[in-house]
Amino acid sequence: MYRDTTELAENKLLILYILNKIDTPITNSSLTQIVLENNLINYFSLQQYISELIESGFIEINKEINKQLLRISLKGKRTLEFFIDRIPEKKLKVIDDYLKDQNIEPENKYTTISRYEAIGNEYFVDIKLLENEKIIFDLRLRTSSLEKATSICENWERNYVTLYEKIIDLLKE
């Protein structure tokens, strides 16, 4: 039993270490590839550990258009800092060497732009969504107050995935 508990903790910490080291949100399949290519954890255990780490708040899910990305949470980072010495040096070196050799591109290829300008008593808001630096959505609105303009910009930055999908669905109807 002690061996199983130690191995469980070590493997979960190893997953957090990988996510922390990459420092960019990645897909489950990318994380799985890293772990399996280095023979660190078997596939089924890995998927179970990822689910448990998400449920307990050590990993966050960032929703992007048509995919979900995994990233280490602040809680996960703090836990990793405290317990990193529980991961064998040999495994840390394997991950470090592998990530150094790989050119891991960020999975998040979307960029948002939101800004407003005042013209007289009106405010014009521009919101955009770019994919790989190409505009896929561009909207210009007129509002009557600074509060509305700033609210639209802040909401777009926080919820662009949901808002974009809702707008596209409305336009398709």
pLDDT band at 104 (very low <50, low <70, confident <90, very high): low
pLDDT bracket for residue 106 (50, 70, 90): low
Residue 41 has pLDDT above 90, yes or no: yes
Per the CB < 8 A criterion, the answer to whether 86 and 5 are in contact is no
Return the closest-CA partner of residue 11 out of 28, 131, 36: 36
Q: Give me Rg for the CA atoms of the chain.
A: 21
pLDDT at 130 over 50: yes
Average pLDDT over residues 23-42: 90
Cα distances (Å, whole numbers) of residue 159 to 57, 125, 164: 20, 16, 8
Going along the chain from its start, the domains and CATH numbers come out as 2-101 (1.10.10.10), 110-172 (no CATH)
**Residue 3 has what pLDDT?**
52
Q: Is the pLDDT confidence value at 32 over 90?
A: yes
pLDDT higher than 50, residue 169: yes
Give alpha helix (H) positions in the chain: 2-22, 28-37, 43-55, 74-83, 89-101, 146-172
* pLDDT for residue 101: 83
Out of 40-44, 146-150, 163-167, least confident range: 163-167
Among 91, 61, 56, residue whose Cα is nearest residue 76: 56
